[in-house]
């Protein structure tokens, strides 16, 4: 990539890498050879998450006759043309839960109650399910759950900590759905959006036993100084909100498997950049931490490789966090990362890149992520303006000003974020 290359050609190159990286983690590919267990009785299919419709569509023609089900996905994420008569589709709110999600969760619990010993609850799980399938524990209101969710999002807590809290305030998460389905068997197929691929954390684990505790939940709440109602704190302190554990009798007929992981996306990205002649440097598929700091660190590394005269692609996955200071700000973790990276690079020639959420939406805006190239700061109005946008949590607006947003719409999968920086 030469520094005189036009932004449109740079963006096209980078968008092509993003598209190639997503191919193996799309349900149509990741589930094409999936073998489902044989069931004597009937199957109820529950598919939840940002890839819920696409996962159900990928196996629909392999489901036994008489299968019924429910798909719960984010507004706008249903798959065009897929509307089977035997499966209801509900669209709900993400990342803050709403009444539609509550109704879907209650429907799922009611269906689980009807299953018998020879039946199966077949769960397809993808990222976003925690918010899309809310069922506050008895005595906890939706408003209280929404308030705690917002506070967790704004404080920058990593996803595993968020999901521990969600599990313990829920009537469906942390294995409680599988407990309701017992004595029926529960079988889960999941796309991982969790750094480290802890399958019990995907969607806050409604169909798997939980090893976290009420004490863990309180420690997280106190770590971020999150105010919660006294009644909820009391129930956590006395263990009243504890989740089913691996030795629980109701957890003995559960199985689960992963069909796609962030590592699969990163490996495809490695192949894509190698095809373009770059040396691939994998920084990790499960990176966490502050998005802006991560951007600064990767910029410093890119400058080191540039000084060595090497043609390198820095690749990383994972889910960074943003501690929100401006509640009215517009931006997500990918644009915050990339804006901090661009500022640190300060127009260095022959370096370009992108950061994007694999589900097609970064935060709550309409973009998957954004692009950078040497002159992107100039297109934003200069380095000082870029710094102000970053400080005000308005990274989306900075890249919008530079015509540097990566907009794809929902991708049909969700395996965390992908970041690629090309040097040389």
- The structural domain count of the chain equals 2
* Residue 2 included in any domain: no
Residues 225 and 358 in one domain: no
Which residues have C-beta within 8 Å of that of residue 270, sequence separation ≥ 6? 280, 282, 313, 315
Q: Which of 337, 352, 332, 318 is nearest to 14 (CA)?
A: 352
Instruction: Clarify whether residues 66 and 165 are in a common domain.
Output: yes
Domain boundary among 209, 234, 260: 260
Does residue 256 share a domain with residue 274? no
Q: Distance between CA 420 and CA 157 in Å, rounded?
A: 24
Q: What pLDDT score does 2 carry?
A: 46
> Which pLDDT score, from 0 to 100, does residue 5 have?
72
Find the distance separating the first CA and the last CA of the chain, reported in whole Å: 6
- Can you give the pTM of this predicted structure? 0.93
Q: What is the pLDDT of residue 327?
A: 87
Nearest CA-CA partner of 128 in 168, 85, 74: 74
Mark whether 282 and 144 lie in a shared domain. no
One domain, residues 242 and 298: no
Q: Answer with the one of 240, 260, 280 that is the final residue of a domain.
A: 260
Same domain assignment for residues 17 and 73: no
Written as six digits, the tokens of 237 are: 């302190």
Same domain, 69 and 80: yes
pLDDT (tens digit, 0 to 9) for every residue of the chain, 424 residues total?
Answer: 544 478 999 999 999 999 999 999 999 999 999 999 999 999 999 999 999 999 999 999 999 999 999 999 999 999 999 999 999 999 999 988 999 999 999 999 999 999 999 999 999 999 999 999 999 999 999 999 899 989 998 898 998 999 999 999 999 999 999 999 999 999 999 999 998 899 999 999 999 999 999 999 999 999 999 999 999 999 999 999 999 999 999 999 999 999 999 999 999 999 999 999 999 999 999 999 999 999 999 999 999 999 999 999 999 999 999 988 898 999 999 999 999 999 999 999 999 999 999 999 998 899 999 999 999 999 999 999 999 999 999 999 999 999 999 999 999 999 999 999 999 9
Instruction: Compute the 3-state secondary structure of the chain and give helix, strand, coil in percent, each to the nearest 5.
Output: 40, 20, 40
Residue 89, domain CATH: 3.40.50.10180
Q: For 34-92, what is each residue's pLDDT tens digit?
A: 999 999 999 999 999 999 999 999 999 999 999 999 999 999 999 999 999 999 999 99
Asked if residue 1 is part of any domain, the answer here is no
Question: 345 and 204 in one domain?
Answer: no
Give the CATH number for residue 395.
3.40.1480.10
Residues 12 and 71 grouped into a single domain:
no
Provide Rg for the chain, Cα atoms: 22
Residue span of the structural domain in which 161 resides: 31-260
Residue ranges of the alpha helices (H) in 253-318?
262-275, 291-307
Final residue of a structural domain among 209, 228, 260 = 260
**Looking at the structure, do residues 116 and 233 belong to the same domain, yes or no?**
yes
């Amino acid at each position: 990539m030469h520094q005189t290359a036009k932004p449109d050609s740079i963006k096209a190159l980078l968008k092509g890498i993003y598209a190639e990286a997503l191919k193996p983690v799309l349900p149509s590919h990741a589930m094409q050879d999936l073998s489902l267990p044989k069931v004597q009785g009937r199957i109820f299919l529950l598919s939840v998450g940002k890839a819920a419709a696409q996962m159900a569509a990928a196996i629909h023609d392999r489901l036994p006759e008489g299968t019924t089900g429910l798909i719960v996905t984010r507004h706008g994420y249903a798959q065009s043309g897929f509307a089977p008569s035997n499966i209801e589709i509900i669209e709900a709110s993400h990342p803050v839960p709403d009444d539609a999600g509550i109704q879907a969760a209650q429907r799922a619990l009611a269906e689980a109650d009807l299953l018998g010993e020879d039946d199966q609850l077949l769960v397809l799980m993808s990222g976003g399910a925690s918010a899309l399938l809310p069922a506050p524990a008895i005595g906890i209101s939706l408003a209280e759950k929404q308030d705690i969710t917002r506070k967790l999002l704004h404080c920058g807590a990593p996803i595993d900590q968020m999901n521990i809290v969600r599990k313990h305030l829920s009537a469906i998460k942390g294995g409680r759905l599988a407990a309701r389905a017992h004595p029926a068997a529960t079988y889960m197929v999941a796309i991982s959006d969790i750094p480290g691929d802890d399958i019990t954390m995907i969607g806050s684990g409604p169909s798997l036993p939980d090893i976290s505790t009420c004490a863990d939940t309180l420690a997280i709440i106190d770590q971020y100084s999150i105010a919660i109602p006294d009644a909820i704190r009391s129930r956590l302190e006395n263990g009243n909100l504890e989740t089913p554990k691996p030795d629980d009798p109701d957890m003995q007929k559960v199985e689960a498997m992963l069909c796609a992981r962030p590592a699969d996306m990163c490996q495809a990205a490695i192949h894509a950049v190698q095809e373009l002649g770059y040396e691939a440097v994998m920084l990790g598929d499960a990176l966490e931490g502050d998005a802006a700091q991560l951007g600064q660190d990767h910029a410093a590394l890119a400058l080191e490789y540039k000084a060595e005269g090497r043609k390198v692609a820095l690749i990383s996955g994972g889910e960074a966090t943003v501690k929100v200071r401006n509640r009215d700000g517009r931006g997500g973790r990918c644009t915050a990362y990339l804006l901090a990276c661009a500022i640190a690079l300060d127009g260095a020639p022959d370096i370009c890149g992108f950061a994007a959420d694999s589900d097609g939406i970064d935060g709550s805006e309409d973009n998957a992520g954004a692009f950078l190239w040497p002159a992107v700061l100039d297109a934003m109005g200069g380095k000082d303006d870029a710094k102000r946008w970053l400080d005000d949590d308005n990274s989306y607006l900075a890249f919008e000003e530079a015509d540097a947003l990566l907009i794809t719409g929902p991708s049909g999968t969700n395996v965390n974020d992908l970041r690629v920086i090309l040097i040389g």
